[in-house]
Amino acid sequence: MTDTGLAVQPLWLRILQFPLTRIIILGPLLFAFMAWAQTQLNDFHDSPLVNAAIQIVLGLAAIGVYVAWGKFIERREVTELSTPGLGREWGIGALYGAGLYTASAVVLMLLGIYKVEGFNPLVFLLPELAMAIKSGVFEELIFRGVLFRSVEAMFGSWVGIIVSSLAFGLLHLMNPGATLGGAIYICIEAGLLLSAAYLVTRRLWICMGFHMAWNYFQSAVFSGVVSGAVSDPGLFKASIEGPELLTGGAFGMEHSVIALVFCTTAGVMLLRIAIRRGHLMPPMWKR
């Protein structure tokens, strides 16, 4: 019965449902959404609450497009974005992101490299809300939701981790202060960690929570440079002086060996949990 139902599906629909088509059509569509969101981010930089509201609306619209593709084209339940457990999983991810960045900064403090010299007004916490929302929602939809899941469906979880991590790191070469070293570090530390976080639950909320919180704490709280792009002052008035190996230099903490060790270790731990849960997928020819 099921085989007959699948066989009578029109050829055009079967082509659209193939994982590679998701990359070719849905990926660029969401990337265009992200570019539009970036334009709004720049245009409304001086109106942080309006900016955050715009990013929320655009982010929800992008999620709607992603869910619509899953329901009406792929004809499946979009479990990776189902709402039961959303708050809990997003919160766990946010705690991971905030905690790992704070731990990295504390190490620099103990080494005398990161020095807090005072505090800015609390309103300095507002401008980077929009940036955190934009990066957390759009980049996770594209790199974990579309790219990782599509490559995984064809070639298995291990290849999915490698391909999505490489693409995620290389994307950051587009940033104004980008360095090849910083992009490579992001491939390893963030690519692995975010892919592993997805595999633990096979849902995107934990990835979004981590991504938003890391970027937000990096910029809005600790006044750090975010991936060679955002360098606005945050809550802490800080001076950072030390070897680039530890500080990350103009690229920010993602190019620091401290973040590399912390985030990669966390990624390996999450990956082990996902393996124990049986959440890794073999390539399509072995299923």
Distance, CA of 139 to CA of 211 (rounded, Å): 9
When computed from its CA atoms, the radius of gyration of the chain, rounded to whole angstroms, is: 20
* Residue listed under structure tokens 């082990």: 272
Contact between 127 and 55 (Cβ < 8 Å): no
Q: What distance in Å separates the CA atoms of residue 38 and residue 193, rounded to the nearest whole number?
A: 24
- pTM greater than 0.85 (yes/no): yes
3-state secondary structure of 215: helix
What the block records as the tokens of 264 is 């990669």
> Which percentage of the chain shows pLDDT scores above 90?
85
pLDDT of 4 above 50: no
Please tell me the predicted confidence (pLDDT) of residue 122.
96
Q: For residue 51, give the amino acid letter.
A: N
d(CA 132, CA 56): 10
pLDDT digits (tens, 9 = 90+) for 109-143: 999 999 999 999 999 999 999 999 999 999 999 99
Q: In the predicted model, what is the mean pLDDT of residues 176-203?
A: 93
- Does 245 score more than 80 pLDDT? yes
Mean pLDDT, range 173-199, rounded to an integer: 92
Amino acid at 217: F
Q: Minimal CA–CA distance to 54: which of 162, 122, 164, 133?
A: 133
pLDDT surpassing 80 at residue 77: yes
Pull the structure tokens for residue 258: 């401290």
Q: Which amino acid is at 135?
A: S
Residues 74-107: b if buried by 16+ CB within 10 A, e if exposed: beeebebbeeeebeebbebbbebbbbbbbebbeb
pLDDT digits (tens, 9 = 90+) for 17-45: 999 999 999 999 999 999 999 999 999 99
Residue linked to tokens 């982010």: 59
If one counts every other C-beta atom within 10 angstroms of the C-beta of residue 210, the result is 29
Contact 144, 167 (CB under 8 A): no
* 3 state SS of 231: coil
Please, which pLDDT band fits residue 7 given cuts at 50, 70 and 90? low
CA distance 120 to 249: 23
Can you read off the two tokens belonging to residue 253? 């903490």
Judge contact between 204 and 140, C-beta under 8 A. Answer: yes
Average pLDDT for residues 69-88, to the nearest whole number? 96
How confident is the model over 215-238, as a mean pLDDT? 91
Q: What is the mean pLDDT of residues 74-79?
A: 96
Q: Provide the pLDDT confidence category of residue 3 given band limits of 50, 70 and 90.
A: very low
Whether residue 227 contacts residue 135, with contact meaning beta carbons closer than 8 Å, is answered with: no
